Structure 1
Amino acid sequence: MKPFKEAFNDWLQKNINEEKNHRRREILEKGLGHGTVEFLRLIWYPTIGNFDYLYPEWEVRDFNNGYRYLDLAYMPRDAKGGIEIQGYGPHARDLDVRRFKDLCWRHSLLTLDGWTFLPIAYLSIKDEPKQCQQLILSFIGNFISTKAPSHLSWLEAETVRFSRRMLRPITPLELAKHLRISDRHSRKILHQLVEQQILVVASGKQRARTYKLNTR
């Protein structure tokens, strides 16, 4: 995997070179916001390992026939996923009534237009990176059939996919219900995936209670 800075610069330049819309091209040439870059550096790239299907400053039309720009658009095939980094200042502390109403309208109209919208607080990127990484895996899982290592059995591969779709660590009982197997069998599968360093124990010392994806 390329170092982040090299991969990021290549990806951004590719978007600039391929963009024929002068409005978006000018925005891209000015560079991305600090929050977006930090999200990509600390959350997206370490978790996903590439920028496939990800487009910065994606242009959308608003209800007044104007133009808005999503921080990031994730669009595999015909899917439409929007990610916006909510800074503490303008988006929360200093948000006046008019801007708050405008933000709500924007999110609502994007949803009605078929977008799956994911706002992420800048403070969470800094304070809760692991939770954000799990969130991104779940977000992507809504759009594509998540690949699992080819050497895994069907039950192991489905366990990986199930874990990626969840927003929190999973329990052996939840997995057993999902796979329609016994609790003992689900624990065996989870233990095997931990040994392969695909999953890690999220809670429990003497006896593991919950498991999550290994995002390292």
Structure 2
Amino acid sequence: MRGVIKMHTEVVRFIAKFEEEAIRKGLYRKKLGDIEVLFLELVLGPVFNYDFEGLSAEFPLKDFKGGDRFVDFIYIRNGMRFVFEIDGFTTHARDISPGDFDDHLYRQNELILSGWFLLRFSANQVKRRAEQCQKQIFHAIGHWWSLSHSLNNGGAHSWAERKKRIAKLALRSGGVIHTKDVEIEFG
């Protein structure tokens, strides 16, 4: 599929950086799949004007049991915290067991309860309806903006919300918070 479309230079740069880091860190996945590349090219690239600062692929997160989970993409920038997942029908619907299906739902709930904005797209949507995917991301950014700006106008209410976010951050990171974590959390 990579040979079918001419990739934007920033997509090529993002892929090369990911692959270099994956090899250096010994990650499980050392290459992005065709659908992830297509998502960068057709969906995220146009949304973010091909500026991928704050975007990471195959990002490891701890689940509620302390195990490692990987999300397709995370985007952390200017206080925004998004997870983007691209699901193929066979691996995420048709060919999974009831236990795997339950696990997918627990994982999704855990991400949402940990303060992430989660957007899921099917591989089919990315291939055939990229503009609709873009619109949903724009909508999510607008939703995030309205929520975050309404919180910042509240004085004591705003401080209470910040304390809640720090508590959630502590839960996600096993009780240990570093300055960099707070910086990322609050942009």
Structure 2 residue runs of 5 or longer lacking an equivalent are 1-5, 147-187
- Structure 1 unmatched ranges of 5 or more: 146-216
**TM-score, scaled relative to structure 2:** 0.65
Alpha-carbon distance between aligned partners in 2 of 1:23 and 1:101, rounded to the nearest angstrom: 29
Distance 2:83 2:105 in 1: 14
> Is the CA contact (8 Å cut-off) linking 2:19 and 2:31 kept in structure 1?
no
Amino acid of the structure 1 residue aligned with 2:54: Y
Question: Residue 80 of structure 1 aligns to a residue in which SS?
Answer: strand
Structure 1 pair 144/4, CA: closer, same or farther in 2 (3 Å)? farther
Quote the Cα distance in structure 2 between the aligned partners of 1:104 and 1:21: 32
Bigger Rg over Cα? 1
Which residues of 2 match residues 32-51 of structure 1 at below 5 A? 32-50=32-50, 51=52
Q: Deviations over 1:28-59 (max 9, x none)?
A: xx211222111111222133222122111111
The two structures, once aligned, show a CA RMSD in angstroms of 2.5
Please name the residue that 1:116 is paired with.
117
TM-score, structure 1 as length reference: 0.57
- Residue 11 of structure 1: how far off its partner (Å): 1.9
Higher helix share: 2
- 1:128 CA displacement: 1.7
Report the equivalent of 1:102.
Answer: 103
SS at match of 2:80: coil
Alignment of 1:1-216 (within 5 A): 4-15=7-18, 22-24=25-27, 27=29, 30-50=30-50, 51-143=52-144
Structure 1 pair 70/21, CA: closer, same or farther in 2 (3 Å)? farther
Deviation at 1:108, TM superposition (A): 0.7
Give CA deviations for 1:113-156 in whole Å, capped at 9, x if unaligned.
111111101111122222112112222334458xxxxxxxxxxx
Q: Give the percent of matched residue pairs that are identical in Structure 1 and Structure 2.
A: 30
Instruction: Answer whether contact 1:4 1:45 (CA < 8 A) is retained.
Output: no
Amino acid across the alignment from 2:112: T
The one-letter code matched in structure 2 to 1:36 is: E
Displacement after TM superposition at 1:60 (Å): 0.2
SS in 2 for 1:75: strand
Are the counterparts in 1 of residues 60 and 70 from structure 2 also a CA contact under 8 Å?
yes
Which has the higher relative contact order, 1 or 2, with Cα contacts under 8 A spaced 6 or more apart? 2
